[in-house]
Homo-oligomer: A and B are copies of this chain.
């Protein structure tokens, strides 16, 4: 059983604090070809280049010590083996295992968490059968036509991860299969999606673990109404992905039901049926299994104790170096791949909901920073947008670049002897160098300060396998940072107060609809409705 210690209590923390007073300089020739080759590692299809971080061999030794002292790998293994890690010692908490890795631990004869992996395999078999029925035509609509469209209704973890993966891999879609997403309770979200869809050939995949998520139930009802108005029976079109025994676990209301389990948090659930049903529909069963294979390989690579041979662990430690020691408050995720257009939004959830915490695992307030703000957009678009601040702003923003040697569609054009893909990659390399080395100039406006830390993840092509690997890479990085910061990365109590107050506002609105709300009992709520002009209340 690993011991849980605060970041600041580790001996290596003192060393790193000292080193941070004079971090290595990357300018004026100090970034050498030798350093580029030396600060490079490989895991499950990805190379990580980190010569453009403000690191040296000494700091890397201290980071290795920190990883060992914090028992990061021991904790990662304990997680994979099913230890109850989602808890706060001495206080009421969710008290759950954390087993998203079990969803893809299906290729080995002896999975680390056998029961969870068996449950995952069972759901996979159900999915395989369902997809086969769609493919061989035994499952069709009432007119005998095939289903061509899926709408995924979910929010948060039931939306962002699956959506990011769908966009990333849409290039490999089966012919005549298309997916849309409805997440926001804003009725305009659903209205925009429902416009111009042939509902009779559409499956609706409703995803909610609890079966009681307000936004999802509201949108499910809104979409059901559209089906009924079109003369269609929702139970012949709707699929449920939910927890066993939830209010949605009701076979009469759904064409098929798939299960998710409470040992998988929403934001880590893309490789469960939460992503699987939709991705299987869009890409086919084999492609979904390839995603799982990539994730499984990265999960295995992440067990390496040598930080220089383990990308997730090294990225986690470099992140802490930049955040806790060099005091940079945010991290930009900048993928040079249009397919990854929603990947930063997924990581925003996965990282910030996991590690945006202010107490440790004993309920004591932290005396150091936990999770950073995560943001980003695909390059080269970003270059024409916010890169100005990253190069010349008064804040330093550490960057994690992601790139691929080949494009997905392979539809390219050569202009001036280089392809578009070459131009994309040339920009990626140029930005990494420019941020690190900077440039002097007599004109202060043309001066680039340099020393802006960044790293570069690169793989051959964005495929189901590499997407699975990349997803698992960041999931592992995030939980490893949580272990290092000694926080519970698996709950989300911070969303509860807003929910509670929203329910109060809705109670007021409902009471007003019945004509019996007088503004008493919640002066501030009444004043908000009045001041915003959302409801005029006569007192």
Complex Cα spacing A157 to B188, Å: 26
A295 to chain B, nearest CB (A): 21
Check if A493 sits within 8 Å of B445, measured CB to CB.
yes
Among A170, A214, A372, A434, chain B packs the most CB atoms within 10 A around the CB of A434
Check if A373 sits within 8 Å of B397, measured CB to CB.
yes
Residues of B within 8 A of A33 (CB): 523-524, 526-527, 530-531
Q: A433-B524, A495-B383 are in contact. Are A192 and B389 (CB under 8 A)?
A: no
Q: A188-B409, A218-B423 are in contact. Are A534 and B429 (CB under 8 A)?
A: yes
A417 on the B face (CB < 8 A):
yes
Residue of B nearest to A183 (CB): B381
A405 on the B face (CB < 8 A):
yes
A203 to chain B, nearest CB (A): 20
A359 on the B face (CB < 8 A):
yes
Q: Which of A106-114, A118-126, A268-276, A499-507 forms part of the interface with chain B?
A: A499-507
Q: A385-B352, A392-B493, A532-B49 are in contact. Are A444 and B36 (CB under 8 A)?
A: no
Check if B534 sits within 8 Å of A393, measured CB to CB.
no
A299 on the B face (CB < 8 A):
no
Q: Point out the residue from B215, B388, B397 that lies within 8 Å of A495, measured CB to CB.
A: B388
A8 on the B face (CB < 8 A):
no
A129 on the B face (CB < 8 A):
no
Q: Point out the residue from B170, B423, B533 that lies within 8 Å of A192, measured CB to CB.
A: B170
Q: Which of A55-63, A69-77, A361-369 forms part of the interface with chain B?
A: A361-369
Q: Point out the residue from B171, B218, B418 that lies within 8 Å of A513, measured CB to CB.
A: B418
Check if A492 sits within 8 Å of B424, measured CB to CB.
no
Q: Which of A9-17, A86-94, A230-238, A465-473 forms part of the interface with chain B?
A: A86-94
Q: A156-B385, A353-B388, A357-B393 are in contact. Are A505 and B430 (CB under 8 A)?
A: yes
A172 to chain B, nearest CB (A): 12
List residues 178-221 of chain A with CB under 8 A from any CB of chain B: 183-192, 194, 214-215, 217-219, 221
Q: Which of A241-249, A300-308, A330-338 forms part of the interface with chain B?
A: A330-338
- A 365-395 binary contact with B (CB < 8 Å = 1; else 0): 1101111111101111101111111111111
Check if A433 sits within 8 Å of B386, measured CB to CB.
no
Check if B389 sits within 8 Å of A353, measured CB to CB.
yes
Among A187, A219, A329, A533, chain B packs the most CB atoms within 10 A around the CB of A187
A464 on the B face (CB < 8 A):
no
Residues of B within 8 A of A190 (CB): 411, 420
Residues of B within 8 A of A353 (CB): 385-389
Check if B187 sits within 8 Å of A407, measured CB to CB.
yes
Residue of B nearest to A403 (CB): B532
Check if A378 sits within 8 Å of B337, measured CB to CB.
no
Check if B157 sits within 8 Å of A384, measured CB to CB.
yes
Check if A187 sits within 8 Å of B421, measured CB to CB.
yes
A431 on the B face (CB < 8 A):
yes
Check if A426 sits within 8 Å of B505, measured CB to CB.
yes
A412 on the B face (CB < 8 A):
yes
Residue of B nearest to A362 (CB): B444
Residues of B within 8 A of A416 (CB): 506, 510
A494 on the B face (CB < 8 A):
yes
Check if A186 sits within 8 Å of B426, measured CB to CB.
no
Check if B330 sits within 8 Å of A498, measured CB to CB.
no
Check if B329 sits within 8 Å of A445, measured CB to CB.
no
Check if A506 sits within 8 Å of B392, measured CB to CB.
no
A349 on the B face (CB < 8 A):
yes
Among A36, A92, A170, A429, chain B packs the most CB atoms within 10 A around the CB of A429
Complex Cα spacing A189 to B408, Å: 10
Residue of B nearest to A35 (CB): B527
Q: Point out the residue from B214, B371, B386, B421 that lies within 8 Å of A423, measured CB to CB.
A: B214
A358 on the B face (CB < 8 A):
yes
Q: Point out the residue from B159, B355, B364, B413 that lies within 8 Å of A218, measured CB to CB.
A: B413
Residues of B within 8 A of A141 (CB): none
- A 13-49 binary contact with B (CB < 8 Å = 1; else 0): 0000000000000000001110011001000000101
Check if A31 sits within 8 Å of B389, measured CB to CB.
no
Q: A443-B92, A502-B430, A505-B426 are in contact. Are A370 and B393 (CB under 8 A)?
A: yes
A84 to chain B, nearest CB (A): 15
Q: A186-B420, A338-B188, A417-B513 are in contact. Are A391 and B497 (CB under 8 A)?
A: yes
Complex Cα spacing A337 to B413, Å: 38
List the 6 closest pairs (A to B, CB-CB), nearest first: A356-B389, A156-B384, A33-B527, A349-B385, A356-B393, A430-B501
28 residue pairs A–B, Cβ–Cβ below 8 Å: A186-B337, A187-B421, A215-B384, A215-B423, A218-B413, A225-B413, A348-B377, A352-B389, A353-B387, A356-B391, A356-B394, A358-B392, A363-B443, A371-B394, A373-B395, A388-B494, A390-B494, A391-B494, A422-B506, A426-B506, A429-B502, A430-B499, A430-B502, A433-B524, A434-B497, A437-B524, A438-B497, A448-B497
